[in-house]
């Protein structure tokens, strides 16, 4: 499955920003320079909502293939990060329905989205649900150093107020080996055990992909997002918030050109001339 022309442009824009990020060593300066290069300097004000963490947004209409673009973005992002970086992705979704769909898509080795990731990472890829992570199913310190680990989770997965959310904060003997290997956390999560799933993910310093991120700003607090200790945050949305750092955007006309969406046609009756 090949990227559409507008999708290729989005990935090209991301790659250029990553180049500038590494050249300037400054997320805000790189963002400003990127938009200056494309003759839109007014768009170059970087919103540093999570200091020390690059945070970008793909603005793409519904039906524009955000998930496939995200799959294509993973490799360039990790290539721009230190080579010793453990390759872990937290893929956050807003609902159980999208969670189920995303898990099925990314676990299916015959699906074009998964096949793209497999090509980029030599088929050394494991996709996890929250329950699989809690159980330590194919999830170990050795595994995460040898593969790309994608954790598909809902916004509610780590809310401490509910019974299910609390499991991510509790002592977990299935993950005890991680605590031994990773050592004391540099950024301990309040009320989380050292062997807790949330704390282990925190220490893996993941790339966080936020699907439908316009929901996240209200439903997923910045504090909650920061607790993941992300190395990079990529937002995917059709309707970004004011604080979103849009690095590339697609409009409905581009989707129409690629036959990805049908635009409405409005027909008017003309009055007969007398």
Distance CA 195, CA 4 (A): 43
Per-residue pLDDT tens over the stretch 109-162: 999 999 999 999 999 999 999 999 999 999 999 999 999 999 999 987 877 666
Angle (CA) 64 99 226, round 5°: 90
pLDDT value of position 42:
85
**193 close to 200: Cβ distance less than 8 angstroms:** no
More confident of the two residues 214 and 54: 54
Per-residue pLDDT tens over the stretch 224-263: 889 999 999 999 998 888 889 999 987 766 666 765 554 4
Structure tokens at 32: 């400003």
pLDDT value of position 267:
46
Q: In whole angstroms, what separates CA 195 from the centre of its chain?
A: 25
Most confident region among 121-125, 181-185, 263-267 by mean pLDDT:
121-125
Report residue 1's pLDDT band, with 50, 70 and 90 as the boundaries.
Answer: confident
Q: Alpha carbon of 24 to those of 29, 232, 248: distances in Å?
A: 7, 16, 20
Structure tokens at 26: 């400054």
Domains of the chain, with CATH numbers? Answer: 48-257 (3.40.50)
Most confident region among 1-15, 44-58, 105-119 by mean pLDDT:
105-119
Per-residue pLDDT tens over the stretch 24-45: 999 999 999 999 999 898 888 9
């Amino acid at each position: 499955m090949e990227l559409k022309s507008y999708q290729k442009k989005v990935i090209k824009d991301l790659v250029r920003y990553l180049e500038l990020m590494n050249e300037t060593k400054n997320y805000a300066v790189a963002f400003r320079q990127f938009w200056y290069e494309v003759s839109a300097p007014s768009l170059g004000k970087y919103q540093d909502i999570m200091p020390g963490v690059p945070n970008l947004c793909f603005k793409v209409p519904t039906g524009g293939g955000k998930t496939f673009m995200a799959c294509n973005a993973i490799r360039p992002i990790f290539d721009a990060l230190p080579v010793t970086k453990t390759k872990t992705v937290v893929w956050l979704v807003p609902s159980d329905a999208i969670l189920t769909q995303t898990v099925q898509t990314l676990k299916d080795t015959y699906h074009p989205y998964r096949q793209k990731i497999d090509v980029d990472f030599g088929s050394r890829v494991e996709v996890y649900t929250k329950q699989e992570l809690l159980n330590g199913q194919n999830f170990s310190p050795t595994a995460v150093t040898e593969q790309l680990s994608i954790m598909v989770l809902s916004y509610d997965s780590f809310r401490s107020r509910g019974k299910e959310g609390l499991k991510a904060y509790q002592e977990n003997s299935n993950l005890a080996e991680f605590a031994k290997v990773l050592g004391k956390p540099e950024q301990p999560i309040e009320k989380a055990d050292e062997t807790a799933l949330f704390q282990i993910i925190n220490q893996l310093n993941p790339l966080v992909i936020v699907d439908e991120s316009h929901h996240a700003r209200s439903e997923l607090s910045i504090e909650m997002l920061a607790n993941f200790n992300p190395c990079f945050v990529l937002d995917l949305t059709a309707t970004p918030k004011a604080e979103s750092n849009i690095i590339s955007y697609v409009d409905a006309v581009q989707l129409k050109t690629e036959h990805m969406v049908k635009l409405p046609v409005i027909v008017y009756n003309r009055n007969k001339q007398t």
